[in-house]
Amino acid sequence: MPGIDESLLEAIRLPGARGALVVDWISGLALGAVGEAPGDDPEATAAETAELARLAMESGTLAPADGAASVLSGKEPPVQDLILTTVDAYHLLRFVITTFDSTVFLYLWLDRSEGNLALARIRLAEMADRLVLG
Domains assigned to the chain: 4-130 (3.30.450.30)
**pLDDT bucket at 1, cuts 50 / 70 / 90:** very low
Strand partners, 3: none
List Cα–Cα distances, 124 to 39, 47, 77, in angstroms: 23, 20, 15
What does DSSP assign to residue 1? Answer: -
pTM exceeds 0.95, yes or no? no
Q: pLDDT tens for residues 32-86?
A: 999 999 999 999 999 999 999 999 888 767 755 554 555 555 556 678 899 999 9
Q: pLDDT higher for 64 or 6?
A: 6
Q: pLDDT tens for residues 18-30?
A: 999 999 999 999 9
